Amino acid sequence: MLTMKTLLGAGWTVSARLAGRLIDFVTVLVLARTLTPADFGLTALAMTLTVIADMVLEIPLIQALTRLDRLKKSHLDTAFTLGALRGLVLALVVLLAAWPFSRIYNDHRLFALVAVIVIGPIARSLYSPAMVRYIRDMSFRQVFIAEILGKIAAFIVAVSVVYLGGGYWAIAANSISAPVAAMLISYLLAPYRPKLSLANLADFSTFLGWLSMAQLVAALSWQFDRILLGYFVTRSDLGRYAMASDLSVLPTQSLIGPAMQPVMAAFSRINDDRERLRNAYSKASRFTMLLAAPACIGMAMTADLIVNALLGAKWNDAAIYLQWLALSSVLNAFYQPLHSLALATNRTNLVFRLSFIELCCKVSLMLLGLYFYSLMGVIAARGAVSLIMFVLSLLTAKYLVGTNAAAEIGHLWKVGAACAVMALFVLILQREFAGHHLNGILELGVTSALGAAVYIGALFVLGIRLKTISAQIA
């Protein structure tokens, strides 16, 4: 079973991500009210190049250090050196690609934007490797502090730039300020004297071989929709789509993503006991759906309110995008525990295979969707890919630890039933509110709170208590 340390660690990381996402969300609201969808579309396109290069050259140093039986100073030196080399290569690759990228999309503004945005991932490459000591001890308070202070710094910088008339540069400033500030703070929390050394390179190369290849296809898979739409739709439409897409993944990124780091650490500790690992994985996968399903479905049902009340009338066309993208995100959460399981059991080749299949599905289905149904066809393709990856996750988990696919689906029926009750209640509530012309933010808050209460109540009636919810990851 996963220990109480895992539960506390997940609590810290989820809290950090939730608080960070809240700050990000407030920042986006300020920027969205001031800037235009075209501004967001331009920066979203500029970020695709940096994100792809960042992911392709990604070296998960913290994960590699976490899996070591013994951690020595030479391991930290090797990790820092790899990070510094990665940052240097990343800068060169992005700067060399920036000019042809701007020519392909026929927008000269992209060159300068890309050159500035790349500062963010370079800063992340120089993060103090000594922070891993806290992670190995399942102490995530320091990670929380670094992330939150970085987000606060980014908020201050972004708001300052936008009110000084910087326009879309405020979005770029926000994207680089957080990692730069977090990097500086990491050295205060986990002091480390940098030293260039590759003495323990073998301990990293054996872990990263297949994973580096997986990052290549994962990067293309993650950004393919924006690459495609950036060429065929207007900057305004791309901005609305990018905003809806970013909002749609907030539940899974904020609630599930951060919890996977301590879960992977716990999986690593019990990976020599197949039965314990199978039970732990099964509980973790159920827990992800317990959180992700109501959050995504609730967002889909309140998409109009979210867009109109929070972003403003100029974003109204993004509501339909958000509605369907949020629904397609429900099944995405199921893959995250499997990803942690594959890394913990050193089966990174499976990560590559799944990423490659996902990329192939996205390329083929999104091209067809765009051709026949334009932007909505791309969104439908994302939903189809989510379903395919859900099925593959079930089959891969069976291969890794012997789970039963039918049983795993059967374990989710209570979550599905509770979500159905919640959805019915929200529909009734929206009909009641329709003639009262309530303030949009008030209506959104009341609907969300009551919907969440009904969901928790439905789980209670179905036999799932709060203690049971905690036990899913304990």
User: What is the domain count for the chain?
Assistant: 2
Residue 1 pLDDT grade (very low, low, confident, very high; cuts 50, 70, 90): very low
Calculate the CA 461 to chain-centre distance. 32
Q: Say yes or no: 274 and 205 in one domain.
A: no
Domain assignment present for residue 73? The answer is yes
| pLDDT at residue number 263 | 77
Domain assignment present for residue 235? The answer is no
Q: Say yes or no: 272 and 182 in one domain.
A: no
Mean pLDDT lowest among 14-23, 144-153, 372-381: 14-23
Q: Distance (Å, rounded) from C-alpha 152 to C-alpha 178?
A: 8
- Comparing CA positions, the residue from 345, 336, 211 lying closest to residue 278 is 345
Answer with the one of 157, 187, 212 that is the final residue of a domain: 212
Domain assignment present for residue 234? The answer is no
Q: Say yes or no: 273 and 326 in one domain.
A: yes
More confident residue, 4 or 36: 36
pLDDT > 90? residue 2? no
- Comparing CA positions, the residue from 296, 301, 298, 358 lying closest to residue 330 is 296
Answer with the one of 183, 212, 241 that is the final residue of a domain: 212
Q: Say yes or no: 87 and 152 in one domain.
A: yes
Domain assignment present for residue 243? The answer is no
Most distant pair of Cα atoms in the chain: their distance: 70
The residue-averaged pLDDT of 56-78 equals: 81
- Residue 165 phi, psi dihedral angles, 5° rounding: 90, 20
More confident residue, 118 or 213: 118
Domain assignment present for residue 225? The answer is no
Q: Say yes or no: 117 and 185 in one domain.
A: yes
Domain assignment present for residue 377? The answer is yes
Q: Say yes or no: 265 and 182 in one domain.
A: no
In this prediction, what percent of the chain has a pLDDT beyond 90? 55
For the packed helices 348-401 and 201-232, what is the interaxial angle rounded to 10 degrees?
A: 100
Q: Say yes or no: 284 and 205 in one domain.
A: no
Residue 283 pLDDT grade (very low, low, confident, very high; cuts 50, 70, 90): confident
Q: Distance (Å, rounded) from C-alpha 59 to C-alpha 79?
A: 9
Mean pLDDT lowest among 123-137, 169-183, 224-238: 123-137
The residue-averaged pLDDT of 250-274 equals: 75
Tell me the residue type at 304: D
Q: Say yes or no: 278 and 159 in one domain.
A: no
The residue-averaged pLDDT of 138-161 equals: 89
Q: Say yes or no: 335 and 410 in one domain.
A: yes
Range of the domain at 455: 249-474
- Residue 421 structure tokens: 């009750």
**CA neighbours within 13 Å on the CB side: how many for 142?**
22
Q: Distance (Å, rounded) from C-alpha 119 to C-alpha 11?
A: 30
Angle at 362 between CA 357 and CA 363, to 5 degrees: 100
Q: Distance (Å, rounded) from C-alpha 305 to C-alpha 449?
A: 14
| pLDDT at residue number 10 | 61
Q: Distance (Å, rounded) from C-alpha 253 to C-alpha 329?
A: 10
- Residue 446 phi, psi dihedral angles, 5° rounding: -65, -45
Tens-place pLDDT, residues 331-373: 988 888 998 888 888 787 888 889 899 999 999 999 999 999 9
Q: Given CA atoms 361, 363, 368, 374 in this order, what sign does their dihedral have?
A: positive
The residue-averaged pLDDT of 433-459 equals: 91
* Secondary structure of 247-308 in HEC code, one letter for each residue: HHCHHHHHHHCCCHHHHHHHHHHCCCCHHHHHHHHHHHHHHHHHHHHHHHHHHHHCHHHHHH
Q: Say yes or no: 268 and 169 in one domain.
A: no
pLDDT > 90? residue 293? yes
Q: Given CA atoms 172, 173, 176, 182 in this order, what sign does their dihedral have?
A: negative
